[in-house]
Structure 1
Amino acid sequence: MIGRLRIGTIIRRILLVIAAIQGATLIGLRIVDVWRKRKRAPAVFPRLPPRSVTVGGSEVTVYTYGEDLYADMLDAIRQAKEQVFFETFIWKSDAVGQAFKQALFDAADRGVEVYIVFDEFANLVVPRRFFNFPSHLHVRRHPLVASPLRIIRNSGRDHRKLLVVDDKAAFLGGYNIGSLYATDWRDTHARLTGDMVWDVQNAFIDYWNLFANRRRPALPDSGAPIWTPTIRIHRNIPRNLVYPIRGMYLEAIDRASHHIYLTHAYLIPDEDMLAALTRAARRGVDVRIIVPKESNHIVADWLSRGFYNQLLSAGVRLFLYQGAMVHAKTATIDGQWSTIGTANIDRLSLLGNYEINLEVFDPGVARQMEEIFSIDSSNTIELTLESWNRRNLMVKFSEAVLSPFRPLI
């Protein structure tokens, strides 16, 4: 009996020591992150102007610079005549955020039906008065805390970023709303016109109607006028336990025979995603992944680093983006398939949050995405297995200490 008590005491002390080390590591990373952000130079990175590609009955325009995107989004809102659906994860109260707020107010004042969704958790640091809206706008604040009655099914954040105007144009991708993202972040967004606008509109309507009530009536929900085989919209819906974006990625990676080009802000793959990427590389597919050298979440960076050895050992090539935060969530495979959206390669996005991704089967879009990948690659440093293995023991120890947190992100 005494021996068992001693063993229990030893185990508890070991667990406390481990927890203390993990806590100290997280605090240390936070201090480094604050110092790093204060010393960060203005962002400079190469970019391409927006260009359009016709796909079936739709037109796809790809944006890689925030100012270009925001100008077209604001122009679309200002020309709206019937309705605007606006949904964002982060909405800053700076000049860009105020411009969007004013454009939405003006649209509502001239009789346009304006529907707004934003995530409360993502905007905790934004002054609450910024989110005061007049009563003639329809607003849903994705709640900070899920309903205790459905805590698992309601716990996902609303990580989507989309805009639909008058059945005429739809925008979706990685860009949040704020001045920082306009010039200092490298992100990717798409505009759709034509047949596919309905699909993005329907994604907003379905989300809105999930939470309809007497104060927030449901929106009319009509069937699709056209089925488009070359472009699809995939939506993660935690309320319904539906997560198709992960399956989309796994299926596309499994089909790859020549090359896979991924650009992601946060690379923390689960076992299946890691296996799919390494299997592809081992069968001779040219797998290349661009990730930030330093992202806006230093802990996510260190959790991601725990996968570098497995990826590099399998032949996956990793490229670290320099001089700016790359926040894109894109991929293109074999000159045929591409995706642009809001989902990162991590568990929060693929098995947790409300997300939306565009999937395109078109060589023209793939060529454009490959050109963007090439331009971005010119602003990277390739990380080799040899250089990665030379990192110091303290860094390796810190990565190991944080490894238990990987399944949480």
Structure 2
Amino acid sequence: MPVRRTTSIDLGSIRSAADQAFSRTAGAPLVGGNAVRILRDATENYPVWEAAIDAATATIHMEMYIIHRDSVGRRFIERLARKAREGVAVRVIYDWFGCGLGPLRGLFTPLLAAGGEVRTFNPPSLSSTLGWLRRNHRKLLTVDGRVAFVSGLCIGQAWEGEPARGRQPWRDTGVEIIGPAVSHAEASFAESWYLAGGAPFPDPPHASEIPAAGSVNLRLIPTEPFTANMLRMDLLVGTIARRSLWLTDAYFIGTGPYLEALTRAARDGVDVRLLLPRDSDVGWIVPVSRALYRPLLEAGVRIFEWNGTMIHAKTAVADARWARIGSTNLNLNSWIGNWELDVAIEDPGVAQTLAAHFEEDLARATEVVLESRRRRPVAAGRPRRRYRSSRRVVRTVAGVGRSLGAAVSGNRELENEEIKPITIVALLLAALAVVGFVAPWLLAWPAALIAAWIALTFLAEAWQVWRRSRR
């Protein structure tokens, strides 16, 4: 039976369905009437943050994964303390793991002495067996319910660099938001504040009560562990991008479904590009990322590595119409395990600005190519980097995880290039076996400690439930 084709297209219905799809995927509504400004690096972000803090009259809310106990971190804490002494309600949430020993060494003492409130997010506790391993990776600052800053930047000297010591500033991206969407940022902070044990505070104005400040439509997307809001969004955008999808990421370890989305888009003619670090503060990330390059390159994805100290931005721009800026990295820990916060912007002007920034960044990057493929042009003045399939296994094969999965499940034959990672894992397991035979206590003691910790946490949780039942 022939397919009946309609001659008219209801654009309104299509737009409504698309908005519904994005809202359901992200778990966040589209909010209009905002003014948005993209801010690059600490040179643009920090001065604007500090100016907003200095102008605060009612509230300052900061949710920050890392505040280093260095000159930059102390500068921000002193500024917040000054506003607290002036009577501004200052509330700060920090991640216990991200901030390390800084809080124990008095990082927040000036702020607390000035009357500010500080909460530790998800610290180790007997009431949670391993839940404290989940991180609050968000980077959010709101002031007076008037302006919000969402970014990939934390607070520390690394973002400003140390020219005297030859250390370049980290490359990063943030966004300033003024308008109704600030209400959603305040609501996100309030929920984190509650989870961190903070005392309730007055509700911020509803989005409908905040006057429009511009014409930009956006979604503020808070992600919690196991909600996968940004994973679904990234997969959706990778599926519907028609012309281009340009991604910048700091700790890229894409999952199988996401890698498949990128490769299918590239094979379908979409200009897919990845900008990743060549050097990282987390040293093992780079070789693991490189292990995923080959299938992407073979599909036509173009990969560039940043030539500077560190690129820490987490951004995406699709078809020069849609953009994402925030804290979520393209890896399972960010997508599934952490509390994250991102802004998805549906505005051609903002997206084109981010696309222009991406192209400028490529001038400071080196394109990665497969030697067997036809050569591609490289940014002027930059050397070509080659990856030989027989010599640089970790940088070219489909990935250690995929190799191990094939070896364990037998779902496909292993390739010659996968001999090295499989052999390394085999030797590590053999070493553990030898230790188990020769000095079993080296394995038994850690296992016993883990078992004891789990037992204590289970008992603590059971006791808390029993106490609640007796009330």
Shorter-chain TM-score category? 0.7 to 0.9
Find 2:36's aligned residue among 56, 60, 85.
60
**Per the alignment, do residues 393 and 81 of structure 1 end up closer, same or farther by CA in structure 2, a change over 3 Å counting?**
closer
1:39 corresponding residue in structure 2: none
Q: Is 1:138 aligned to 2:138, yes or no?
A: no
TM-score normalized by the length of structure 1: 0.79
CA RMSD of aligned residues (A): 2.4
Q: Deviations over 1:173-197 (max 9, x none)?
A: 1111012202410000111112221
Following TM superposition, by how much is the alpha carbon of 1:401 offset from its aligned partner in structure 2, in angstroms? 6.4
Matches within 5 A, 1:105-184: 105-126=81-102, 128-132=105-109, 133-134=112-113, 136-145=115-124, 147-151=125-129, 154-183=132-161, 184=169
Gaps of 5+ in 2: 1-30, 162-168, 210-214, 372-385, 396-418, 429-471
Tell me the secondary structure at the aligned position of residue 97 of structure 1: helix
Tell me the secondary structure at the aligned position of residue 284 of structure 2: helix
Do the aligned partners of 2:36 and 2:216 also contact (CA within 8 Å) in 1?
no
**Per the alignment, do residues 401 and 129 of structure 1 end up closer, same or farther by CA in structure 2, a change over 3 Å counting?**
farther
Following TM superposition, by how much is the alpha carbon of 1:138 offset from its aligned partner in structure 2, in angstroms? 1.4
Output the CA distance in 1 between the equivalents of 2:422 and 2:277: 21
**Per the alignment, do residues 376 and 106 of structure 1 end up closer, same or farther by CA in structure 2, a change over 3 Å counting?**
same
1:94 corresponding residue in structure 2: 70
Q: Deviations over 1:326-358 (max 9, x none)?
A: 000000001111000001001111110110000
2:269 corresponding residue in structure 1: 284
Find 1:185's aligned residue among 158, 170, 173.
170
Q: Deviations over 1:233-262 (max 9, x none)?
A: 111112xx4221111111111111100000
1:36 corresponding residue in structure 2: none
Tell me the secondary structure at the aligned position of residue 130 of structure 1: coil
Following TM superposition, by how much is the alpha carbon of 1:222 offset from its aligned partner in structure 2, in angstroms? 5.6
Q: Is 1:331 aligned to 2:316, yes or no?
A: yes
Do the aligned partners of 1:121 and 1:143 also contact (CA within 8 Å) in 2?
no
Following TM superposition, by how much is the alpha carbon of 1:134 offset from its aligned partner in structure 2, in angstroms? 2.1
Q: Is 1:360 aligned to 2:342, yes or no?
A: no
2:218 corresponding residue in structure 1: 231
Output the CA distance in 2 between the equivalents of 1:226 and 1:398: 59
Q: Which amino acid aligns with 1:389?
A: R
Output the CA distance in 1 between the equivalents of 2:178 and 2:425: 44
Following TM superposition, by how much is the alpha carbon of 1:65 offset from its aligned partner in structure 2, in angstroms? 2.0
Output the CA distance in 1 between the equivalents of 2:234 and 2:38: 20
- Report how many aligned residue pairs link the two structures: 345
- Of the two structures, which has the highest relative contact order with CA contacts closer than 8 Å and spacing of 6 or more? 1
Matches within 5 A, 1:393-404: none
Tell me the secondary structure at the aligned position of residue 107 of structure 2: helix
Do the aligned partners of 2:255 and 2:331 also contact (CA within 8 Å) in 1?
yes
Following TM superposition, by how much is the alpha carbon of 1:220 offset from its aligned partner in structure 2, in angstroms? 3.4
Structure showing greater Rg: 2
Do the aligned partners of 1:303 and 1:399 also contact (CA within 8 Å) in 2?
no
TM-score normalized by the length of structure 2: 0.69
Find 1:293's aligned residue among 253, 275, 278.
278
Output the CA distance in 2 between the equivalents of 1:269 and 1:175: 21
Moved more, 217-226 or 185-194: 217-226
Q: Which amino acid aligns with 1:219?
A: F
Q: Is 1:217 aligned to 2:195, yes or no?
A: no
1:388 corresponding residue in structure 2: 387
**Per the alignment, do residues 222 and 100 of structure 1 end up closer, same or farther by CA in structure 2, a change over 3 Å counting?**
closer
Q: Deviations over 1:75-108 (max 9, x none)?
A: 1111110000011111112221111101110111
Find 1:371's aligned residue among 352, 356, 366.
356
Following TM superposition, by how much is the alpha carbon of 1:225 offset from its aligned partner in structure 2, in angstroms? 2.8
**Per the alignment, do residues 229 and 96 of structure 1 end up closer, same or farther by CA in structure 2, a change over 3 Å counting?**
closer
Moved more, 203-212 or 325-334: 203-212
Gaps of 5+ in 1: 1-54
Output the CA distance in 2 between the equivalents of 1:135 and 1:401: 58
Q: Alignment identity in percent?
A: 32
Do the aligned partners of 2:287 and 2:394 also contact (CA within 8 Å) in 1?
no
Q: Is 1:79 aligned to 2:58, yes or no?
A: no
Following TM superposition, by how much is the alpha carbon of 1:395 offset from its aligned partner in structure 2, in angstroms? 5.4
1:340 corresponding residue in structure 2: 325
Following TM superposition, by how much is the alpha carbon of 1:297 offset from its aligned partner in structure 2, in angstroms? 1.2
Q: Which amino acid aligns with 2:222?
A: R
Following TM superposition, by how much is the alpha carbon of 1:135 offset from its aligned partner in structure 2, in angstroms? 6.8
**Per the alignment, do residues 355 and 401 of structure 1 end up closer, same or farther by CA in structure 2, a change over 3 Å counting?**
farther
Following TM superposition, by how much is the alpha carbon of 1:59 offset from its aligned partner in structure 2, in angstroms? 1.1
